[in-house]
Structure 1
């Protein structure tokens, strides 16, 4: 937010003296980062009631002229609809559409509307729209309309990519499922083996426990001997 203090000097009624009144104005964030947009102008002192801020007006704001590459309103396999950059009312501005050709002068098109619809050709074409006001360019945006064959190629590539991703996902799911089944079966076999041979398992645990106790006793005796 940008703060600006404006000093007003209205004449005091009945006194003929000038009184100074301080009014603090705050500018909101512009709705765009390039071209033309709008922003709010807020009053941060002297608002009615208990409001800390109140809107004084809405005004235009400007950013860098070049807005780079735009996104079409609609894009199909046959045609593309592209917008210029503007704010309502759109008839305030003049729109100049051009086709850009590398190493050649841009060709100006007869279309002067804010939105242009073109159908795809046998080769890709780059379009540019300049929004002008009072003879000055205030915004510029470019679009590339790909050829029909290129769109079909991109569509087939997206389809192949989606299919390969689905196949990879299915393979991972199958691997996880098979691994889970193997682990579950192994656990079941181990439990069945322990149940059927419980006596043998119990004797092995006892012998191991006894061996551990004997090892502890020997270790204690050795420590006592070392102390003596």
Structure 2
């Protein structure tokens, strides 16, 4: 009985120990499975943080992308703040200045950016020769530098006839004077488009001499008139300056002159009164004589 009773508690202890080991192993397995789950949560948090950082980076890039166009727009507005100078010609083709009014270097209010081409009406009417003598005349087409950029077409104009195109295609044409006056026309072409047209009249030698002799010498007269006008203006200015500087003396002088005129006027008035009184005294005398005679008769 004791041997059997002693064997039972030993078996129970072994069974309890085995169950305890099994329970510990099960607990360890549960802890191992839980650890990956917690690690997965941390990975999710890291992934969410990465996504937020990516979103922030995208927002920053969008802001930068929005900022760059604004800067470009500002730069464009600065470039557009320009003025255009006057064209060097009133017809044909010329040049003008492009002036920047904002953003000039050195704090200047205005600065010249570039020089560009400008155009006016094509027809320039009748022009003057470049140079002339009694034998020949040099005519020039309308153009700007560089001269070889354009094409030139010279024509001889005849009344009631088609123009005759000349072989000369340069910008300057030299013509010898003939027995009859002649008319020439030059067309300036840019890309086969007429941008300027000008006409000239070439007179004969006799006509040129007659025009020179019959032309009044207005230049000398104009110079003389302008000189006299300038001298008079300078004299008036000096007189005004002298009066302003010596105003007190001028005022006293005019006061003395005014007083003398008043004295003269008073003296003249007194003389007039005396003369009138003398004129009236003879008329009064007969009356007194009559009274005396009447008293004597009585």
- TM-score bin, normalised by smaller chain: 0.5 to 0.7
Q: Are 1:100 and 2:100 counterparts?
A: no
Structure 1 runs of 4+ with >3 Å offset: 155-158, 210-215, 218-222
Q: Considering Cα pairs closer than 8 Å and 6+ residues apart, tell me whether 1 or 2 has the greater RCO.
A: 1
Q: Distance in 1 between matches of 2:135 and 2:105?
A: 56
Alignment of 1:1-228 (within 5 A): 15-17=64-66, 18-19=69-70, 20-21=73-74, 22-23=77-78, 24-158=81-215, 215-219=272-276
1:170-189 deviation digits (Å, cap 9, x = unpaired): xxxxxxxxxxxxxxxxxxxx
TM norm structure 1: 0.65
Q: How many residues align?
A: 164
**1:48 Cα shift?**
1.4
Structure 2 residue matching 1:16: 3-state secondary structure: helix
CA offsets per residue over residues 66-99 of structure 1, 9 Å max, x none? 1111111111111000100100110000000001
Q: Which has the higher strand share?
A: 1
1:220: Cα distance to partner?
Answer: 6.4
Deviation string 1:76-133 (CA, Å, 9 cap, x unpaired) is 1110001001001100000000011111111100010000000100100000000001
Q: Deviation of residue 148 (structure 1)?
A: 2.2
Q: Quick one: structure 1 residues 85 and 213, their matched pair in 2 at CA, closer, same or farther if it must change by over 3 Å?
A: same
Mapped partners of 1:62, 1:211: distance in 2: 80
After alignment, is 46-55 or 74-83 more displaced?
Answer: 46-55
> Which runs of no fewer than 5 residues in structure 2 stay unpaired?
1-60, 222-266, 280-298
Instruction: Spell out, residue by residue over 1:119-165, the C-alpha distance to the aligned partner (whole angstroms, 9 max, x if none).
Output: 1001000000000010100001110001223223334435xx66xx9
Q: RMSD of aligned C-alpha atoms?
A: 2.9
TM-aligned CA distance change 1:48 to 1:116, over 3 Å: same
What TM-score do the two structures reach when normalised by structure 2?
Answer: 0.50
Q: Which is richer in helix?
A: 2
Partner of 1:49: helix, strand, or coil?
Answer: helix
